[in-house]
Structure 1
Amino acid sequence: MPLLEISVVPVGTGDESFSEDVKRAVEVIEQNGLNYRVTPTSTIIEGDIDKLFDVAQVIHLNEIKNNAKRVVTTIKIDDRTDKPLDLDGQERKVE
């Protein structure tokens, strides 16, 4: 199953903290029933590729709706076709 890493940086909000932005993103992910991990600099989401893109779009657009003057969103996708890939398995490999 594909993994998507997303990092969203809202600019021009007048607030240096991102915690409320991360909470909003996590709500979107949870509403879509996806497995995820929040890291200090990004969030990793596991799911169907189409749903991952839809969720990433909603997360990005939510920042604009919350009055960010500019939003910089970075996305990485890890999608293996030769063997199964999942978030838990990737974590176990490095423990």
Structure 2
Amino acid sequence: MALLEISVVPVGTNTASFSSYVSDAVRLIQQNGLNYQLTPTATVIEGEVDQLMDLAKQIHKNAMANGIHRVITHISIDERTDKPTNMQQQVQAVQQ
């Protein structure tokens, strides 16, 4: 299990808001049946690395398909092989 943090920034739109792009990304995540958590600046998704990479590509391409000529996508992958982990465990470890 790994965690993917993704943030998609459309460039050159007529508005400063990009919540509709986040909504589209969440819809793709849900269609893939993955657990996720929205944050104010990114979305964190749990899954296998290959699955997460494919999803990141889908999210990026979907933003481009919505008529945007430039999209900047930031991703970060957190994968551990020494023990199983998930979003909830990582948050709990910090809060303890």
TM-score (norm 2): 0.94
Residue 62 of structure 2: aligned partner: 62
Instruction: Indicate the RMSD between aligned Cα atoms, in angstroms.
Output: 0.8
Deviations 1:4-27 (A, max 9, x none): 000110111212101111100000
Alignment of 1:73-84 (within 5 A): 73-84=73-84
The whole-number CA distance in structure 2 between the counterparts of 1:81 and 1:48 is 12
Could you list the runs of 5+ residues in structure 2 that have no partner in the other structure?
none
Alignment of 1:5-44 (within 5 A): 5-44=5-44
Q: Are the equivalent residues in 2 in contact too, given 1:8–1:60 (CA < 8 A)?
A: yes
Runs of 4+ aligned structure 1 residues displaced above 6 Å come to: none
Query: Which runs of 5 or more structure 1 residues have no equivalent in the other structure?
Result: none
Q: Is the 8 A contact 1:13 1:67 kept in 2?
A: no
Whichever residue aligns with residue 54 of structure 2, its letter is D
Match of 1:46 in 2: 46
Task: Write the distance in 1 (CA, Å) between the matches of 2:15 and 2:62.
Answer: 16
